Amino acid sequence: MESNKTLGEFIIENQQEFKYSSGELSRLFNSIKLAAKVVSHKVNKAGLVDIVGRAGGKNIQGEDQQKLDVYANDIFIETLINRQIVCGITSEENDNFISVQGSDNSNTNKYILLMDPLDGSSNIDVNVSVGTIFSVYRRISKPGTPVVLEDFLQPGINQVAAGYVIYGTSTMLVYTTGHGVNGFTLNPAIGTFYLSHPKIKFPEKSKIYSVNDGNYTHFPEGIKNFIRYCRQEEGDRPYTSRYIGSLVSDMHRNMLKGGIYLYPNTKSNNGKLRLLYECNPMAFITEQAGGKASDGNSRIMEIEPQSLHQRVPFYSGSIKMVEKVEEFIAKSRLHKV
């Protein structure tokens, strides 16, 4: 769908929907879209310049960092700090949060930003879509003082904005401020994002399930039962299995086509996805697009975070499919009693 409305124009027209706005939202998104354009340019040059492959280090979770992970992280942090728009930043790639302070060692800005700078970066080497995920909160500590850990350990229901950028055949920025979900596609010729996907909603009929089948034997019994249910020939089933291995890409497709994304806990861990950097922002977007996000037992956005890099099981997508997952998990628990 073509539109002549730019991201900047759309934000200005709808700023009254941003509860606390006095221009901060526009300035914040200007920074995000600038950093996204720089990262998009670099992603599109992957293979032509020395930007693919491992960087040689590991992030706080002990995972190998890709060169683009480090590059994207640096670009977003540098852009946000230089423009003095937020008072704090935390990233999946950093051990701890960053307190952003002005020349007088204070910061009166009200907002903090949490991000996964390059989700699915291991796919870069094989030319598969990757993305950036971000989440915005109002600080709870006193303005003018350095941010504290509690500013970042807020439940997802406190988010004032969340979004993602997907770097694929085209670059798109999708976001919500709690008044629906809208998508903007970058015209690389002039460097402008245009409204291309207004008022995104999960389709009523959903037939896609996205899960890493390679971990099937390690999944809880309830999830195994749900996957078997998806594969059965009955009614409108079997469902179609589609899994890219990049949360942004899988969620973006399912939101447009209808489906569910699953990343369960296993026998050895409590899931892979991070509550603050991935699950909360994607849950906010999912709910605003008419879907549901759960850890299998409760609403993702109501979970009280305990640490910056906390992991949780994640089931997000069309309401009926998520409710079916919860049903299978509940039945499985009953059978264990």
Tokens 């200007």, residue located:
30
Q: Which of 196, 152, 201, 220 is nearest to 319 (CA)?
A: 201
pLDDT (tens digit per residue) in 204-254: 889 999 999 999 999 999 999 999 999 999 999 999 999 999 999 999 999
Q: What is the largest CA-CA distance in the chain?
A: 66
C-alpha separations of 241 from 122, 169, 250, 261, 335 in Å: 21, 22, 11, 10, 27
Determine whether the annotation assigns residue 261 to a binding site: yes
Q: Would you write out the chain's pLDDT as a tens digit for each of its 337 residues?
A: 556 899 989 988 887 776 665 677 788 989 999 999 999 988 876 544 444 444 445 555 555 556 788 889 999 999 999 888 899 999 999 999 999 986 666 678 889 999 999 998 777 777 778 999 999 999 999 988 999 999 999 999 999 999 999 998 899 999 999 999 999 999 999 999 999 999 999 998 899 999 999 999 999 999 999 999 999 999 999 999 999 999 999 999 999 999 999 999 998 888 999 999 999 999 999 999 999 999 999 999 999 999 999 999 999 999 999 999 999 999 988 876 4
Query: Residue 318 and residue 304: Cα distance in Å, rounded?
Result: 24
Determine whether the annotation assigns residue 267 to a binding site: no
Query: Residue 21 and residue 292: Cα distance in Å, rounded?
Result: 27
Q: Please name the residue ranges forming H helices in the chain.
A: 7-13, 24-44, 67-82, 149-152, 221-231, 247-257, 280-288, 319-336
Determine whether the annotation assigns residue 3 to a binding site: no
Determine whether the annotation assigns residue 92 to a binding site: yes
pLDDT (tens digit per residue) in 151-177: 999 999 999 999 999 998 899 999 999
Determine whether the annotation assigns residue 263 to a binding site: yes
Query: Residue 202 and residue 166: Cα distance in Å, rounded?
Result: 18
Q: Output the six-digit token pair for 245.
A: 């291995």
Determine whether the annotation assigns residue 119 to a binding site: yes
| Domains of the chain, first to last | 7-197 (3.30.540.10), 208-336 (3.40.190.80)
Q: Output the six-digit token pair for 298.
A: 């409760």
Determine whether the annotation assigns residue 22 to a binding site: no
Determine whether the annotation assigns residue 122 to a binding site: yes
